[in-house]
A and B are shown apart, each in its own frame.
Chain A
Amino acid sequence: MRTIGKVTGIISNLVIVEVEGRVSQNEICFIEHSDAKLMAEVIKILGKKAYVQVFESTRGLRVGSPVEFVDHMLEVTLGPGLLSKNYDGLQNDLDKMEGVFLRKGDYTAPLDNDKLFAFTPLAKVGDKVSAGSWLGEVKENWISHKIMLPFKMTGEYTLVSIKEGGEFTVVDTIAVVKDKDGTEYPITMSQKWPVKIPIRTYKDKPRPFKIMETGIRVMDTLNPLAEGGTGFIPGPFGSGKTVLQHNISKNAEADLVIIAACGERANEVVEIFTEFPHLDDPRSGRKLMERTTIIANTSNMPVAAREASVYTAMTLAEYYRSMGLKVLLLADSTSRWAQALREMSNRMEELPGPDGFPMDLPAIISNFYSRAGFVYLNNGQTGSITFIGTVSPAGGNLKEPVTESTKKAARCFYALSQARADSKRYPAIDPIDSYSKYLEYPEIAEYLNKTVAPNWTANVFEAKDILLRGKEAHEQINILGDDGVPLNYHLKYWKAELIDFVILQQDAFDKIDSSSRLNRQHYMLEKVLWVCNTDFQFDSFEEVNPYFKRVINQFKQMNYAEFESDNFVKYENELDNIIQERKIA
């Protein structure tokens, strides 16, 4: 028998329910309201009173309304057909909903139960299997989607029977297993899993040792993100967080991309599902939408579902990682999730931490980031979740709880600067403040020097050094005046500007410039450093600025041209001539 209760109090989306029977923390319940049932989650229990956060508007709700508890936590459904879907934060399929407006209590099935998938077995009768074992596979778009023994099945089982092939729906039985007592369990291609619990069907989680190519120069070249690594992008509004994440989602070297639009603009989600079906995935030649899943809890959707949305997205990512895939997970913005936690904590009159956020915010954030990672699966295959979250600091001030807590959890820090955004130096990642801890990992350095070029990391550090010295020179020039410093200072400043304009800045809306593969990044960095290491003849500082403007302009024309095309070569030749003009032999 299911536990029931009735509503005794309502403050916005916090509802107090008097419960008859057992109830557990984070259990899901449904509140009857007019002809709908509103989904809610238990967040506190005090005697017979359960405090529940409702994932819908509570307008019109009355005390006395009946409540039914379902005896499980918030769960998602996992199976073939998740790709290319547009879900809300609770994994309702938005495309299946009727009407222009979202209706309260309209919950739709995440998977298409009547769609057929061609199943190929991977395991044999008699095999010993456990949670996460690959039993078979189906094609989902171009991904080979593994059908696994459900994650909830603890212990060891023996495969009793398995379909030899043929087309099945996600609810058809494709295999039967038995436990050590001989009890048999039918297995379908779909399963459920509670989102707040990590899926741990892997053997080992080593330190990341490869990089995840994003096509963004200032990331890949200067502060690379590791495959299975974590990074975050804090920045004031308008500094380019979303454009950067979208650009990464288009160009990153991932098998699939899961985007959690958490408490941000609906039009940004519309942009993805309008443009991605027409954009090519440079790696597979298929359409980008085929490798993308959207979890949309935009800012006008129920606040309580914001937290759910990021966990839903992470759980889908873990599911695909267990299939041995490279998953890229993006969340924009994790601050909205933190704010949702704050709203609820305030409503429950909990003792607030800094800026009113819950005391355990740092722990919540670091637990979440720790679910990313590169793993060796039990069958020896590898899979990864690379996670990038954005942070929206109040007033653009990075000394606030969400930024500070995230900084402790994420290994890459891509700080967007207002000043750079104001002067249209996009992406506005601050080259001095930002960092990638991965660059310090010997295994990453080794990987880069092996796959890109033997002198690669040395070049990267040299470029960083030039940027730093350029900044110092610029400060001196500002203090002492153009003619108050040696000419050399101007050169230092302009060499840093050269790296800024050619490597750091990248036009996200230009067809060619928006993405740069590593071989091209390598070529351009070599070329820029070659210029930086050239000795130039200048008679006065007044000559430096116009000369470097020409050099930069020439490099930019190269950036706008197809790599190694006729135009590219032409611009490069012209550049070489410009360099010869002032080069000291």
Chain B
Amino acid sequence: MEKNSKAFQRVYTKLFQLTKATVSLYATGIGYEELAIVDGRLAQVVKIMGDMVTLQVFAGTEGIATNAEVIFTGKAPTLKVSDELAGRFFNAYGEPLDGGQVMGQEREIGGPSVNPVRRKQPSELIATGIAGIDLNNSLVTGQKIPFFADPDQPFNQVMAMVALRAKADKIILAGIGLTNDDYLYFKQIFDNAGALDRIVGFINTTENPPVERLLVPDMALTAAEYFAVEKHQKVLVLLTDMTLYADALSIVSNRMDQIPSKDSMPGSLYSDLARLYEKAVQFPDGGSITIIAVTTLSGGDITHAIPDNTGYITEGQLFLRKDTDVGKVIVDPFRSLSRLKQLVIGKKTRQDHPQVMNAAVRLYADAANAKTKLENGFDLTNYDERTLDFAKEYSEKLLAIDVNIDVDTMLETAYSLFRKYFSPAEVGIRQEFIEKYWNQS
């Protein structure tokens, strides 16, 4: 049964068990997580019991026969890294879609973590021009943050816009169950911006088998580590859509009869996602990996296990929703958060930035209360009326995703709205800022 075709490659042809996602056979000398080829399809070792080896077949097991050929490669999944990656698109296995080759060093994907004491505290502001981000939820190099959005929101468009304005040396697109249309959209928008040579893409579209998706983020992050660690570059990684990644995880764990936890997700979902997101890093020598992801929601529900675990891992989230009062998509100031913003706001930006931001959000919250009152049929006070007017203008001039201004202009806009609708005491920020900026802008 066992024949040695090439050195390091051992070939078997007798499977004794097949499920939808896995095959099992008797084999020896196999390493855990080793890659194998089952009937021409890539597979990975997920369980070894004595000489019984179970393989997860990424493309599924449809049509595989008990005498299928199994070749063990003697290594975990790898990617060849070099500058030749730039400007090209790859499949989930790291093979160029242009049919060519990559000359480069072979790296295991999903490699070890950075020693925390070798990290540097992120401190570089990423300006996007979008006030819902720069004013309220400033992004910082080395951060990991997802967009939370229902599937009908234009998250890929916003993400592409942010990526192009972010001044990254490399943009690595991980398309996880991307529709073909969105794939072409990304290609086209990067091309139009003259940025294609800075792009590396790892693409699994909806046409590819779902389990293959599990390799895509690791491929992208391995490429990112190459450019950040070895070339000291500022790398931006786009992961879209991580909900489909988690769905693929649940397919596999389900087929392997693992006990599901909340929302049919595997109990290890937190660790599985954290392993990827924690690849975001700022190195002391200037190299960095920033991760912007997409987690699609179902009906805005952020308590579902996927957004919930994500929120516990990432450094905030940007919540997109349509504001029907102004008819625009906004970055919701309540549900959105950038946990790294305090490293830059008031430090890299004007000192009153934190207070102005908080005051505006508080007034917006007052408007939400006034709205509830209105909906319950109660009379509004003069203050309520003012907050409602403020909220509309705030939404239109600052929260909407089509805003593109610099941070100082955002602050000035905020003061002009404060002045228009409120007294300094109602805004409630530090007296010294009121004195300095209230009448200025």
Given contacts A8-B50, A60-B76, A552-B428, contact A267 B275 (CB under 8 A): no
Question: Is there an interface contact between B340 and A422, defined as CB atoms closer than 8 Å?
Answer: no
Q: How many A-B residue pairs have CB under 8 A?
A: 200
Give residues 129-164 of B contacting A (CB, 8 Å): 142
Residues of A within 8 A of B270 (CB): 263, 299, 336, 339
Question: Is there an interface contact between B271 and A303, defined as CB atoms closer than 8 Å?
Answer: yes
Residues of A within 8 A of B120 (CB): 270, 274
Interface pairs (23), CB distance under 8 Å: A9-B50, A10-B32, A59-B108, A59-B110, A60-B76, A62-B29, A101-B112, A102-B115, A238-B339, A266-B281, A267-B142, A274-B120, A300-B278, A300-B279, A343-B267, A343-B271, A395-B308, A396-B308, A424-B361, A424-B362, A482-B373, A509-B342, A545-B383
Given contacts A299-B271, A422-B334, contact A103 B112 (CB under 8 A): yes
Q: Tell me whether A536 is interfacial, beta carbon within 8 Å.
A: no
Question: Is there an interface contact between B313 and A265, defined as CB atoms closer than 8 Å?
Answer: yes
> In the complex, which of the residues A300, A394, A557 contacts B275, with contact meaning CB atoms closer than 8 Å?
A300
Given contacts A343-B271, A509-B342, contact A394 B115 (CB under 8 A): no
A414 to B304, CA, bound (A): 24
Q: Tell me whether A37 is interfacial, beta carbon within 8 Å.
A: no
Given contacts A59-B76, A100-B114, A103-B112, contact A394 B278 (CB under 8 A): no
Q: Tell me whether A546 is interfacial, beta carbon within 8 Å.
A: yes
Query: Contacting chain B: which of A91-99, A142-150, A372-380?
Result: A91-99
Give residues 374-420 of B contacting A (CB, 8 Å): 376-379, 381-383
Q: Tell me whether B18 is interfacial, beta carbon within 8 Å.
A: no
A241 to chain B, nearest CB (A): 10
Q: Tell me whether B197 is interfacial, beta carbon within 8 Å.
A: no
Nearest to B253 among chain A residues (CB) is A346
A270 to B288, CA, bound (A): 15
Given contacts A58-B32, A59-B33, A299-B278, contact A270 B119 (CB under 8 A): yes
Residues of B within 8 A of A356 (CB): 259, 261, 267
Given contacts A58-B32, A237-B311, A395-B303, contact A270 B337 (CB under 8 A): no
Q: Tell me whether B59 is interfacial, beta carbon within 8 Å.
A: no
B269 to chain A, nearest CB (A): 9
Residues of B within 8 A of A581 (CB): none
> In the complex, which of the residues B29, B48, B373 contacts A9, with contact meaning CB atoms closer than 8 Å?
B48
Given contacts A101-B115, A356-B261, contact A61 B32 (CB under 8 A): yes
Residues of B within 8 A of A392 (CB): 312
Question: Is there an interface contact between B117 and A94, defined as CB atoms closer than 8 Å?
Answer: yes
Question: Is there an interface contact between A298 and B112, defined as CB atoms closer than 8 Å?
Answer: no
A554 to B120, CA, bound (A): 40
A264 to chain B, nearest CB (A): 8
Q: Tell me whether B113 is interfacial, beta carbon within 8 Å.
A: yes
10 nearest interchain CB pairs? A299-B274, A300-B278, A395-B303, A237-B311, A481-B378, A423-B365, A274-B121, A60-B31, A300-B113, A553-B425
Q: Tell me whether B201 is interfacial, beta carbon within 8 Å.
A: no
Give the most central of B258, B334, B383, B431: most A CB within 10 Å.
B431
Residues of B within 8 A of A61 (CB): 31-32
Question: Is there an interface contact between A423 and B30, defined as CB atoms closer than 8 Å?
Answer: no
Q: Tell me whether A181 is interfacial, beta carbon within 8 Å.
A: no
Give residues 94-150 of A contacting B (CB, 8 Å): 94-95, 97, 99-104
Q: Tell me whether B430 is interfacial, beta carbon within 8 Å.
A: yes
Task: Encode B50-85 as 1/0 by CB contact (under 8 A) with A.
Answer: 110000000000000000000000001000000000
Residues of A within 8 A of B33 (CB): 58-60
Nearest to A261 among chain B residues (CB) is B116
A111 to B239, CA, bound (A): 41
Q: Tell me whether B191 is interfacial, beta carbon within 8 Å.
A: no
A58 to B258, CA, bound (A): 19
Residues of B within 8 A of A552 (CB): 428
A448 to chain B, nearest CB (A): 31
A301 to B278, CA, bound (A): 10
Size bracket, chain B contacts = 35 or more
A546 to B422, CA, bound (A): 10
Q: Tell me whether A20 is interfacial, beta carbon within 8 Å.
A: no
A166 to chain B, nearest CB (A): 33
A95 to chain B, nearest CB (A): 5
Residues of A within 8 A of B362 (CB): 423-424
A98 to chain B, nearest CB (A): 9
> In the complex, which of the residues B30, B229, B281, B305 contacts A394, with contact meaning CB atoms closer than 8 Å?
B305
Question: Is there an interface contact between A481 and B32, defined as CB atoms closer than 8 Å?
Answer: no
Size bracket, chain A contacts = 35 or more
Residues of B within 8 A of A104 (CB): 112
Question: Is there an interface contact between A265 and B31, defined as CB atoms closer than 8 Å?
Answer: no
Kindly list 17 other residue pairs between chains A and B, CB separation below 8 angstroms, not including A356-B267, A422-B335, A482-B378. Answer: A10-B47, A60-B31, A62-B29, A95-B117, A103-B112, A104-B112, A237-B312, A238-B317, A299-B271, A301-B113, A339-B270, A346-B259, A355-B262, A422-B365, A478-B372, A481-B373, A560-B430
Given contacts A61-B32, A267-B142, contact A296 B116 (CB under 8 A): yes
Task: Encode A378-404 as 1/0 by CB contact (under 8 A) with B.
Answer: 000000000000001011110000000
A352 to B33, CA, bound (A): 27
Question: Is there an interface contact between B426 and A549, defined as CB atoms closer than 8 Å?
Answer: yes
Residues of A within 8 A of B425 (CB): 546, 549-550, 553
Question: Is there an interface contact between A482 and B379, defined as CB atoms closer than 8 Å?
Answer: yes
A277 to B312, CA, bound (A): 27
A355 to B110, CA, bound (A): 29
Q: Tell me whether B316 is interfacial, beta carbon within 8 Å.
A: yes
Give the most central of B34, B122, B339, B342: most A CB within 10 Å.
B339
Q: Tell me whether A342 is interfacial, beta carbon within 8 Å.
A: yes
A366 to B418, CA, bound (A): 51
Q: Tell me whether B118 is interfacial, beta carbon within 8 Å.
A: yes
Question: Is there an interface contact between A266 and B114, defined as CB atoms closer than 8 Å?
Answer: yes
Q: Tell me whether B12 is interfacial, beta carbon within 8 Å.
A: no
Question: Is there an interface contact between B274 and A238, defined as CB atoms closer than 8 Å?
Answer: no
Q: Tell me whether A432 is interfacial, beta carbon within 8 Å.
A: no
Nearest to B337 among chain A residues (CB) is A238
Given contacts A9-B49, A237-B308, A542-B382, contact A60 B268 (CB under 8 A): no
> In the complex, which of the residues A100, A300, A509 contacts B283, with contact meaning CB atoms closer than 8 Å?
A100
Given contacts A238-B311, A299-B313, A424-B358, contact A267 B379 (CB under 8 A): no
Question: Is there an interface contact between A482 and B430, defined as CB atoms closer than 8 Å?
Answer: no
Q: Tell me whether A364 is interfacial, beta carbon within 8 Å.
A: no
A103 to chain B, nearest CB (A): 7
A491 to chain B, nearest CB (A): 15
A274 to B76, CA, bound (A): 36
Nearest to B52 among chain A residues (CB) is A9
Question: Is there an interface contact between A339 and B114, defined as CB atoms closer than 8 Å?
Answer: no
A293 to chain B, nearest CB (A): 13
A355 to B425, CA, bound (A): 49
Q: Tell me whether B315 is interfacial, beta carbon within 8 Å.
A: yes
Question: Is there an interface contact between B116 and A99, defined as CB atoms closer than 8 Å?
Answer: no
B270 to chain A, nearest CB (A): 6
